[in-house]
Structure 1
Amino acid sequence: MTEEAHAQLGPDEQAPDGRRLRWTEHRVRRRAAFVVAGTLAIDTYGPEASAEQIAETAGVSRTVLYRYFRDREDLRQAIADEAVAAVVASVLPKLQLSADSTPRQAIRSVIEVVVGWLAEHPNMYHFLRDRRSGSALEAVESTVADQVAALLKMFLMFFGIDAAKAEPGAYGIVGFVESSGSWWLARRSMSREKLTEIICDGVWYLLDGTARAANVHVGYDDPLPLEAFGQQGTDQEDS
């Protein structure tokens, strides 16, 4: 039996012995594989990659492809969700700091990942940006911004700076990075490395300016005072 014919059958017809769960798991795996094929097709053919091109990339017919999605919008939203998850998964680990972390290292590790993703997946970026009404790109920005805000709050509180500034500041930084990346994709007037350097410096100037306004001085290459902050948090809990 062909896959197209198999996909048209209900789980009871395909598994008369009652293996419904096995069939459901099969459909989940196949759908996930088609979503990955969709991301590859968009990278290859552009943001408007057709269902036929996605099906060709997946090695199936268009009819089989749509057995696993309600319609075109369901397919494209699933692709957007997959791309968002991939970006977030690559960025969040870089926001984990160690006792030896410096501002330069912390900022650069994140920016390198973001700029690298933009350079390697420009079509997917435009696909997500075109779907702003579906909250695809906002999901990346808000998730990363929330994590950045948590870090900023930690350090601002340690330095005695109003923590209420952390959240708008974090979203401002994320917006700055995304806008700079979008500008670069449209022009490619400098190297990826140069863009990374410029964005890193810009982020640092924003952070350093906020700290200096509160009469706090942190070196770009000085280890961040993680242990001191942890001790302060312990003291506050004990009081």
Structure 2
Amino acid sequence: MDPAVPAVDGRAARWQNHREERRRELIKAARKAVHSLGRDASMEDIAAAAGTSKPVFYRYFGDKAGLQQAMGEVVLAQMQRKMKEAVASAATAREGLYAMVSAYLQMAESSPNVYAFVTRLPYSEAGQQDAIAVSGALGHFFESISGMMAEPMREHLGPGAEALIDYWPTAAIGMVRNAGELWLSTPDSPAKPDQQTMAARITDWLCVGIAPDGKASRNQQ
């Protein structure tokens, strides 16, 4: 055996694998609990629903923000994969944008409680409301999505639009997120658009604005 290569501690490796597997199990159980109990579920409630104790969750995640971060990494990675799969089958740039927006809304709508849990800190920490968005899983998610959205928009706008692309993805993500979250929180009614209609509206806003066919420009003349 090459003395320059450190020996692998089999017991340590098995323990690390066990710990990672246990962590995945706890995240999965917590996700189910939040889906059922709501975005404001306490660590005690989550632990009880998972069939374990609150100290176990603290041991693996540190605190509730740590659990949100860990769950966010899993949920948002799945959302990103769905968006990539959706845009890969699109025939045009605009269809690509619609596919991404639609996949985003579908994932959020599948469990609004889980979506809210991983994108917001507890109300008791109102001063840190978007800390996760700034530096955590949500921040990494939106950074990746910015690049994904910029690509079809370059194609949609054509040559000479590179300067606009520097700003557009950030503005677009803000629109998708805020419009999507308002739509999620709106009670069901005949006036509420379904997911596909909402995705189409947001795509229109991103591509042509709120007044199509230059109506706003004509009114200003």
Which band: TM-score by shorter chain? 0.7 to 0.9
Q: Distance in 2 between matches of 1:128 and 1:31?
A: 17
Q: Find out whether 1:134 has 2:137 as its counterpart.
A: no
CA displacement at 1:28 relative to structure 2 = 0.7
Q: Find the counterpart in structure 2 of residue 123 from structure 1.
A: 113
For residues 166-192 of structure 1, the C-alpha deviation after alignment (integer angstroms, 9 at most, x for no partner) is: 131122222211121122122243322
State the AA in 2 paired with 1:79: M
Tell whether 2:168 aligns with 1:169: yes
Query: Could you give the per-residue CA deviations for residues 127-160 of structure 1, whole angstroms, max 9, x where no partner exists?
Result: 234232122433332221122123434565xx32
Q: Percent identity?
A: 26
In structure 2, the residue matched to 1:51 is 43
Runs of 4 or more consecutive aligned structure 1 residues displaced over 6 Å after TM superposition: none
Do the aligned residues in 2 keep the contact of 1:108 with 1:196 (CA within 8 Å)? yes
**What is the correspondence of 1:75-86 to structure 2 with a 5 Å cutoff?**
75-86=67-78
Residue 181 in structure 1 maps to residue 180 in structure 2: yes
- Cα 1:172–1:155 change in 2 (3 A) is same
**SS of the residue 1:66 aligns to:** helix
Contact 2:147 2:169 in 1 (8 A): yes
> 1:175 & 1:200 partners in 2: Cα distance?
13
Equivalent residues of 1:92, 1:144 under 8 A apart: no
Q: 2: distance between equivalents of 1:151 and 1:109? A: 11
CA distance in 1, matches of 2:68, 2:100: 27
Distance 1:176 1:65 in 2: 35
Please give the per-residue CA displacement for 1:5-55, whole angstroms capped at 9, x wherever unaligned.
xxxxxxxxxxxx962211110011101111122222222212221222222
* TM-score (ref. length: structure 2): 0.72
Whether the aligned pair in 2 keeps the contact of 1:43 and 1:123 (CA below 8 Å) is yes
| Structure 1 residues 57 and 183: alpha-carbon distance in aligned structure 2, compared to 1, 3 A threshold | same
Q: Does 1:21 align with 2:51?
A: no
Aligned partners of 1:155, 1:199: CA distance in 2, in Å? Answer: 16
Equivalent of residue 38 in structure 1, options 10, 22, 30 = 30
Structure 1, 111-120 or 137-146: larger mean CA deviation: 137-146
Instruction: Give the letter aligned to residue 132 of structure 2.
Output: G
Contact 2:69/2:118, CA 8 A, preserved across alignment: no
Separation in structure 1 between the aligned mates of residue 171 and residue 131 of structure 2, nearest angstrom = 20
Paired residue for 1:194?
A: 197
Amino acid in the other structure paired with 1:177 = V
Q: Which residue of 1 aligns with 2:5?
A: none
Larger Rg: 1
Q: 1:67 and 1:80, CA in 2 relative to 1: closer, same or farther beyond 3 A?
A: same
In structure 2, the gaps of 5 or more residues are 1-8, 122-129, 213-221
Note the residue ranges of structure 1 that are not aligned, 5 or more in a row: 1-16, 210-239
- CA contact 1:141–1:175 (8 Å) conserved in 2: no
Partner Cα distance (1:64, 1:129) in 2: 23
2:178 counterpart letter in structure 1 = S
CA shift digits 1:211-234 (9 cap, x unpaired): xxxxxxxxxxxxxxxxxxxxxxxx
Contact 2:35 / 2:114 at 8 angstroms: preserved in 1?
A: yes
